[in-house]
Structures are given as C-alpha cells and as structure tokens.
C-alpha cells in the first residue's frame, strides 16, 4: 500500500481565523513504526517552524535552528491531560 505522491502527502491546513500552515510528511513508513521516525515538517507560509518526529519511544519537537525537545509518550500524555483537565 503506497502513501501517494509528494504532492498528495503535503496538505495545507486552513482553519477559520487561523494562519495557513503547510504540514509535510517525510520518511513515512507504510505500516508499524520500526527504527525510523515519522517526520512532520511544519512551515508557516514560506518559513520553516520546525520538525515533529514521532517514534515508538515518544515525540520530539525540533524547532528550526533551536534545541530539540524529546518527550516519552507517558510524559506527553500527562501534559495533554494537565492542559485539558482530563
């Protein structure tokens, strides 16, 4: 099962009252994650904001030209629950 062309994998997200962002899926495995991360390259207009990596071990945010941040899944879950009061 393929994941389509590069154009099909790139989607612009437009929400009412919000800025337009381009989200690109790169290095996307077709099935279960193995040793490779799934990479989301986030751009605001023509400027790169950063890259989000998703792996078996957690998520990592790499802001453009800044220090990366890694969160294990359990910590990510706790942050989301704390934020939304769950």
* Backbone dihedral angles phi then psi of residue 9, each to the nearest 5 degrees: -85, -10
Residues 6-30 have a mean pLDDT of: 54
How much of the chain is helix, strand and coil, in % rounded to 5?
Answer: 20, 40, 40
Domain count, the chain: 1
Whether residue 59 lies inside any domain: the answer is yes
* pLDDT-based confidence at residue 3 (cuts at 50, 70, 90): very low
Q: Determine contact, residues 48/26, Cβ cutoff 8 Å.
A: no
Q: Which pTM was predicted?
A: 0.60
Containing H/E element for 79?
Answer: helix 73-84
Whether residue 68 lies inside any domain: the answer is yes
Both tokens of residue 46?
A: 């023509």
The C-alpha atoms of residue 44 and residue 27 are separated, in whole angstroms, by 21
Whether residue 75 lies inside any domain: the answer is yes
Whether residue 12 lies inside any domain: the answer is yes
């Amino acid at each position: 099962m393929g994941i389509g062309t590069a154009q099909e994998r790139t989607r612009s997200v437009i929400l009412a009252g919000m800025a337009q962002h381009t989200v690109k899926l790169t290095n996307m495995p077709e099935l279960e994650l193995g040793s490779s991360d799934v990479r989301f390259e986030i751009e605001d207009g023509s400027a790169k904001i950063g890259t989000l990596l998703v792996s078996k071990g957690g998520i990592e945010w790499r802001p453009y030209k800044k220090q990366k941040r890694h969160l294990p899944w359990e910590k990510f879950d706790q942050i989301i629950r704390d934020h939304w009061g769950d």
